[in-house]
């Protein structure tokens, strides 16, 4: 069994590769462009594993894909490669269209030509839009993306459906809620809160802080993906959700409490344009059909995650001293400017 993992140097992809090498005997090839979000340090403990190889490359490069598929004869493909940060998609959507839509199309085309047995598209609950009036996202909820990021992911999902219907490619789509855990890039809420608090910097909370996200520990997502690769039915969509639905404000307070840092660090800034109010995922289908169960308790996993960032200060400090800072100053400078807050 040879599995192509794209975007494996990012947050979820790197956790997934380590999970697969541990739980299966599969061989894994990681294709990653190493954008600002890709970091080979995330995979340092498996780089000598004989079942793991890394190739630096772009999923929009059809020649490279052709060569790679000829060389390796992949049985399965899992596509994590994406531009993944909503705020960056508001600043500039072009890289999102390029990687998330065109890149997926190139991968689908190449996978089709080589007759791979399964193609797993790692999508997101954000394609369903916002649950402003309560309820849950099911696999039948209509697509209603609100950000350029989620619109690009929804577009990729539709292409996946079309390649299944038209070309018979064995495609499965998963739509997961918000992940947290080790190696998450510190532009995302949880690592941003932990690292800013440790640095004594303000914690930017958008709008009134009452937006609700449905949090899942990253290894629970990885195990769900392994099950879908193993047993998921082609042409199907599987929702994955952690069931820990909390407001951003209560989440931030929980982390500050774990760290013993003061709530005075919380700083309300302007809202994210098009900010989805509430997400809540119903994972009944993957539980009933594939027997998936959540393995990590939300509070315990949050303590474990905070401890990881405390123990791996070098990892996030190296990131925060680099390119990330340009983006941070530009984005939060603008939001804070609306309320005259100095960063
Ligand atoms: P991430 O931003 O941490 O990692 C993305 C990875 O993709 C990076 O290693 C980057 O270098 C690579 N990449 C980007 N463009 C590429 C290209 N053109 N060619 C090859 N590699 C490229 O993202 P993440 O949070 O790990 O998310 C992974 C996937 O899971 C994404 O598709 C995202 O939409 C989806 N997802 C994420 C979450 C979440 O909460 N983080 C939830 C549901 C779904
Ligand atoms: O500084 C911040 N302040 C703040 O209040 C940031 C970065 C975020 N937020 C809010 C916005 C959201 O309501 O926190 C919530 C979580 O924000 P993000 O961490 O940016 O995640 P989100 O926009 O929900 O998207 C994430 O989950 C779904 C991932 O980034 C996506 O890739 C995934 O598809």
pLDDT band, residue 343 (cuts 50/70/90): very low
pLDDT(342) > 50: no
pLDDT digits (tens, 9 = 90+) for 273-305: 999 999 999 999 999 999 999 999 999 999 999
Active site residue 125: yes
Sorted by sequence, the CB contacts under 8 Å of residue 224 that are 6+ apart come out as 174, 176, 238, 240, 286, 290, 292
187 lines ligand 1 (CB under 6 A): no
Q: Which of these is catalytic: 32, 58, 83, 125?
A: 125
pLDDT digits (tens, 9 = 90+) for 47-84: 999 999 999 999 999 999 999 999 999 999 999 999 99
Ligand 2 atom having least distance to the Cα of 205: 5
pLDDT band, residue 338 (cuts 50/70/90): low
pLDDT band, residue 186 (cuts 50/70/90): very high
13 lines ligand 1 (CB under 6 A): yes
Is the pTM above the cut of 0.75?
yes
| Contact (CB, 8 A) for 146 and 211 | no
Question: Residue 336 burial (CB < 10 Å; 0-12/13-18/19+)?
Answer: middle
Cα 271 to averaged position of ligand 1 atoms, centre (Å) = 24
| Contact (CB, 8 A) for 174 and 122 | yes
Q: Which of these is catalytic: 126, 187, 220, 276?
A: 126
The residue with tokens 């793991």 is 52
Cα 40 to averaged position of ligand 1 atoms, centre (Å) = 14
Report how far Cα 214 is from the mean position of its chain's Cα atoms: 13
Best residue among 127, 129, 154, 206 to mutate for probing ligand 2's pocket (most ligand atoms within 8 Å of CB) is 206
105 lines ligand 1 (CB under 6 A): no
| Contact (CB, 8 A) for 126 and 150 | yes
């Amino acid at each position: 069994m040879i599995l192509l993992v794209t975007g494996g140097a990012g947050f979820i992809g790197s956790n997934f590769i380590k999970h697969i090498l541990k739980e299966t005997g599969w061989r894994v090839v990681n294709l990653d462009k190493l954008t600002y979000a890709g970091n080979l340090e995330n995979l340092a403990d498996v780089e000598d594993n004989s079942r793991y190889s890394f190739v630096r490359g772009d999923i929009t490069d059809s020649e490279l894909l052709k060569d790679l598929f000829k060389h390796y004869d992949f049985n399965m493909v899992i596509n994590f490669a994406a531009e993944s940060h909503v705020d960056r998609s508001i600043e500039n959507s072009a890289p999102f269209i390029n990687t998330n839509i065109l890149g997926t199309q190139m991968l689908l085309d190449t996978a089709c030509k080589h007759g791979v047995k399964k193609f797993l598209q790692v999508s997101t609950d954000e394609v369903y839009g916002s649950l402003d009036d309560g309820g849950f996202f099911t696999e039948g909820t209509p697509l209603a993306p609100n950000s350029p990021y989620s619109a690009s992911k929804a577009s990729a999902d539709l292409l996946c459906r079309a390649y299944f219907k038209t070309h018979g490619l064995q495609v499965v789509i998963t739509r997961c809620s918000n992940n947290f855990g080790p190696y998450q890039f510190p532009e995302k809420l949880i690592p941003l809160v932990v690292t800013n608090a440790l640095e004594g910097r303000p914690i930017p909370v958008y709008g009134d802080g009452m937006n609700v996200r449905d949090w899942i520990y990253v290894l629970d997502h990885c195990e769900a993906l392994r099950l879908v690769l193993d047993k998921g039915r082609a042409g199907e969509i599987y929702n994955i959700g952690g069931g820990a639905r909390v407001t951003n404000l209560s989440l931030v307070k929980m982390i500050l409490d774990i760290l013993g840092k003061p709530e005075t660090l919380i700083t309300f800034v302007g809202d994210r344009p098009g900010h989805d109010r509430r997400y809540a995922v119903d994972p009944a289908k993957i539980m009933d059909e594939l027997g998936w169960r959540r393995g990590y308790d939300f509070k315990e996993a949050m303590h474990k995650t905070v401890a990881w960032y405390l123990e791996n200060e070098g990892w996030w400090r190296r990131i925060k001293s680099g390119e990330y800072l340009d983006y941070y100053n530009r984005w939060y400078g603008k939001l804070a400017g609306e309320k005259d807050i100095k960063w």
